[in-house]
Each structure stands twice: as C-alpha cells, then as structure tokens.
Amino acid sequence: MTLQLTDDQQALLAGASGPAVQLAMRLVTRMAAVTSAVSLLPITRAHVDGCLYHGQVSLDFARTLAEGGGVVRVPTTLNVGIIDLLHPELFRGPREVAAAGRDMMRHYRAMGCRQTWTCAPYQLVDRPDPGEQVAWAESNAIVFCNSVLGARTERYGDFMDIAAALTGWVPATGLHTDEGRRARVVVSVEGIPLAVQERDVFFATLGHFVGTNVAGMIPAIVGVPTATEDQLKALGAAAASAGAVAMFHVVGVTPEAPTLDAALGGRAPERTVRFGARDMAEGMAALSSTRSQRLGAVSVGTPHFSLTEFERLHALFAGRPVSEAIAFYVSTGREVLQAVADRGWEAELRRLGVKIVTDTCTYLTPILAPQPGAVMTNSAKWAWYAPGNLGYEVVFGTLEECVESAVRGDVWRDDALRALIEA
Amino acid sequence: MMQARDVLVAGEARGPVVALSEPLSFWGGVHEREGTVIDVHHPQHGVSIAGRVLVMPSGRGSSSSSSVLAEVIRAGVGPAAIVLATADPILVIGALVAEALYGTVVPIVVLSPDDYARCASARELEVLPSGRVNLAQ
C-alpha cells in the first residue's frame, strides 16, 4: 500500500494554500512515505523546536515559510530559542548570532505561534489531554507527552514540526497508533530502597540507563511504585538524550500502564533488563566527567524548572546566599517564572545570587562564562550534552548537593545518600 | 552493482567512503562549519564527512539533526550521499529542506544488510537516482 491522500490533502500539495503550505505538505508526505504510512491523520496542537537557531538554514527556512504566507492551523507552542528575550544581556555569543536568532523568532511569531519559549510545554497550564493527537518536537517534550500526558506524538524534529502545524496533518503511524505505543522490553528496578527512589538522581540515572540499554525502544518499567511529574521529566529527558527513547511506561504510574500486561499489549517482552543499586552507582559516576572538588558554576533546569522545583529550590537555599565563587543558573519557561514571581520567590532567589534564565537553556547557548571551572548539575541531559556542546567539565549530583555546593563554594557530597545506595 | 531497498532521497553522487561503526546524531555530533564528527562519545570522533559518501547504520538522537544536516549541506561541508541500513526520517527531512532552499541534492538510500556491509568496506561509491549503488573503480 502506498500513501493515500484525500482531495483536500492533494490540493495542499499542489499549492492551493500557497507556497509555504505546499513545501510543508511535501515534507509531511515524504515523511509518510519513509515511515510507510498509508494515510495522514489530523492533529490538534503542535510544539515547534525549529525556532532554535542552528545556522543560516534555520533562518532561511523560517523566512521562506513566513514570506510564503504560512500560518499555523492548530494552536502551536514554541520551544527554546538561542537567546533569552526577557534577559538578553545573559547571552555571551556573537552579536550576529543573537540578531539572526531574534529574526527567526520573529518569523515564527508571524506564523501565529504562541510565545512560550519553553522545552517543557507540558508545564503550561493549557496542555494536551490523554489520547489527543499532536505533533511535538524536542526529545524531552516528546517522551513526556507520550509517557506522562498520554497524548500521542511521533518523534518530530526541526522542519517537520512547523510543517505539521502549517498543514494540520501528520503520517498515521508509529506512536500515533495503539500498536506503536506498546512496550517491547521490561526494565525491572530491583534492590533500590524507597528512600533512594525519592531522589531526583534516581530518576535521572534510571533514565540514562534506559536510554543506554534499550535505545530506541519503548520500555515498561516495573518496581517504581510512585513518581511525580518532575521525576518522570528527569527520567524521560535522560532516556531521550542517551538513547532516543520516545516513550516509556512506569507500571502503576503512567496512564497507559495500569498493569504490566496492559503496557505490553498482552504480549511477552522481548527481553528484561535489571536496574539495581550497582547500576545506579555506576550511572551516577559516569555522568560526572571530573572528580574535581573545585566548582565554578551550577546549572539546573534542563529541562526547564517547574513551579514545584522552584518551591523546593527556595526551601533548600533557606535564605543562604550563593557563594561568591559560584555562578548559579536556573533555566525555566516564562510562564513558570511568572508564577514564581507571583509567589515572591523570584525576587528572593535573585537576592541570594541565583541567576534565572528564560526562553533558552544553558546547554544550548553561551551563557555561562567561557571557562567556568567544573559545573554541577542534577540533570542527566545537561551532563550528557554540555561536555561536547560547550566543553565544560561536569559534576553530577542531587539538587540538594547542587545547592549545598553553591552555598559552600566547592563540591559537597551527600554521603548518607551514597551509603543508602551501597547498603 | 547493488540496488537500494529504499530510495529516501533520489539523486546522483560519487565520493570516497567514510564508514561509521555506530549511529551518529548530526546535532551535537557534527561541526556545522567543518563537517567533522565532534561527538566525543563516537568511535569515529574527528573524521570528516565533507564530500564523502557517509555509510552508517542509522541516525541517532536529537530531533534537531535535520537542521544540522541541512546546515552542513548549505555550507558546502555536507556528505555527498548517505547510505543507511535503516531508514531515518530525520535525515530525509534535512536533505529535502536543503534541496528545496538551495537546490543541492544529497541522495539517501537504504541497503540490505549484505550490500550495506559491502559499502562499509568500500573505498569509493557512486549512488544513482534509480537507487543503484556502484563500487567506483
């Protein structure tokens, strides 16, 4: 069977809605052919990652679509851009890159996209319902959308995301279908005390392990009785960055996995992988690129910090200032920041020396000093990308360790947590 | 002579082979102005893909790889062609956008496991619009 298009879809492909939609429809139909889809299905929302500047092509593409009359057909949110529009002075890169990035952001606005500028669109008040068919880009957003919200998206990337938004159509395949959402492997968490499972690093290292060991597949995770959205965010982001995982189930926790059998679609798993205390300890060690005690900066909020994470950060600082030797960065979305400001936490955190970055992220764009010394983070995704992208040495730890280290001015380790893991 | 199982992007190209033993993410993995592999975790870290026929099992990782592939093609440091063992829509979209914006065609084909292995050990390859792949003499 080859791809069947309706008359309306054919008309878009023939240019009836202008050159921008025609180009977008060419991308959608070619992707459908590559993925062996036989039809297209309508989406109700889109989340666009293509608004991040990756070079001249990003700008050329956005301009071509905007000047070609492209307007989104469904409500469309924007992922991060290359600069913090609210705090542009934080950008340390070349001026022409900032200008190009700003220009590109203007084109996406002209096409009718909402100015959300966040990699965590699932933290917005208005977010997809379970079962909704959407087209989301950005690997952490994709995995959260499928796994935690129970809304359905394939792994859309740059160009395809806005193409879906401009046409309203995507290939009817993969994660949009019941069969495409079934778990094929089981990841069994064994011998890790619940007191350890409550910590952010448990979910980050489990996610990293999942990405490394079941890359590209959908796992059903058993042995994790409870998890918050923040914890599932950490799990998904790590699994997506280390191994292109676009969906996971946590049995008894995520919406499509009331039971293991339901997650597996009634079939036997192809294999079962165990995640134990040793895997966790090894994973935590592997995510640090240095054992240095000296620290120059701390970066949290990859993916963007949520309101509940800010609440916790505020409590952990407990009024103590960041050491003068340390630059402490938090990346978040502007909608969340507004809620943080409304509670009075933004002003207090800034007074303590915390630098808050919106609209972008510290692992994508030069915000930290060129030679910041080792950087501490509780994000497995940041730890995975920053050494290659930005050339930083990374110390991976819990949020508590990040805050204590920032207050003291050098790396502080939670020995009690390590004793619990190794017990 | 080999025939592609799938022609993802049709076109003609010829060049020396750079064969990768593991999938590569263009985003975070390829230098946008130089066309070299910069992923420190990748076994072929440091090699150039510019003007080469890139033979690799599949794409990997970030959904931003479409942009980086299109950008290296625009900058003239992209691969001449891409030969895969598994279809990858993210690379196809990047190549299609580069073609639409700049008129540069980078063919992408998927080969059977046997043919893929032959390509991976070849020195030079030619890819034809029909999906025919020849070991260059």
pLDDT(A128) > 90: yes
Q: What pLDDT is attached to residue A246? A: 95
Put residue A18 in one of left, alpha, beta given phi > 0 → left and psi -120 to 50 → alpha.
left
Q: What pLDDT is attached to residue B61? A: 62
pTM of the prediction?
Answer: 0.92
Q: Which value, to the nearest 10 degrees, does the dihedral of the CA atoms of residues A253, A258, A261, A264 take?
A: -60
Q: Which residues of B touch A139 (CB under 8 A)?
A: 61-63
Asked about B62 being catalytic, the answer comes back as: yes
HSE-CB of A261 using CA atoms within 13 angstroms = 1
Catalytic entry in B62, B67, B112, B130: B62
Q: What pLDDT is attached to residue B128? A: 97
Put residue A266 in one of left, alpha, beta given phi > 0 → left and psi -120 to 50 → alpha.
left
pLDDT, tens only, A156-183: 989 999 999 999 999 999 999 999 999 9
Q: Other C-beta atoms within 10 Å of A49: how many?
A: 27
Q: Does B36 reach chain A within 8 Å, measured CB to CB? A: no
Q: What pLDDT is attached to residue A215? A: 79
Q: What pLDDT is attached to residue A244? A: 82
Architecture of domain B2-135: 3-Layer(bba) Sandwich (3.50)
Q: Does A52 reach chain B within 8 Å, measured CB to CB? A: yes
Q: Does A142 reach chain B within 8 Å, measured CB to CB? A: yes
Q: What pLDDT is attached to residue A50? A: 86
For chain B, the structural domain boundaries read: 2-135
Q: Does B24 reach chain A within 8 Å, measured CB to CB? A: no
Which amino acid is residue A382, in one-letter code?
Answer: W
What ipTM was assigned to the predicted interfaces of this complex? 0.94
pLDDT(A95) > 90: no
- Pick from A31, A34, A138, A393 the residue to mutate for testing the B interface (most B CBs within 10 Å): A34
What lies within 8 Å, CB to CB, of A102 at 6+ separation is A83, A85
Type and span of the H or E element at B101: helix B89-102
Q: What pLDDT is attached to residue A312? A: 97
Token readout for A409 is 């001015």
Q: How many residues are listed for chain B in this entry?
A: 137
pLDDT(A203) > 80: yes
Beta strands B6-9 and B108-110 are antiparallel
Which of the two residues, A292 and A280, has the higher pLDDT score?
A: A280
Query: What CA–CA distance (Å, rounded) separates A8 from A272?
Result: 46
What mean pLDDT is predicted for residues A34-40? Answer: 94
Rg, Å, chain B Cα set: 13
Contact by Cβ (8 Å): B48, B74: no
Q: Other C-beta atoms within 10 Å of A116: how many?
A: 22
pLDDT(A17) > 80: yes
**Which residues of chain B have a pLDDT value below 70?**
61, 137
Q: Does A61 reach chain B within 8 Å, measured CB to CB? A: yes
Query: What CA–CA distance (Å, rounded) separates A79 from A136?
Result: 10
Nearest C-alpha of chain A: how many angstroms from B15? 24
Nearest C-alpha of chain A: how many angstroms from B97? 8
HSE-CB of A288 using CA atoms within 13 angstroms = 20
Which of the two residues, A13 and A241, has the higher pLDDT score?
A: A13
Q: Which residues of A118-131 are buried (b: 16+ CB within 10 A; e: fewer)?
A: bbbbbbeeebbeee
Q: What pLDDT is attached to residue A375? A: 94
pLDDT, tens only, A340-370: 999 999 999 999 999 999 998 877 666 777 7
HSE-CB of A269 using CA atoms within 13 angstroms = 19
What mean pLDDT is predicted for residues A212-234? Answer: 95
Contact by Cβ (8 Å): B15, B80: yes
Q: What pLDDT is attached to residue B137? A: 63
Type and span of the H or E element at A264: none
- Pick from A158, A208, A287 the residue to mutate for testing the B interface (most B CBs within 10 Å): A158
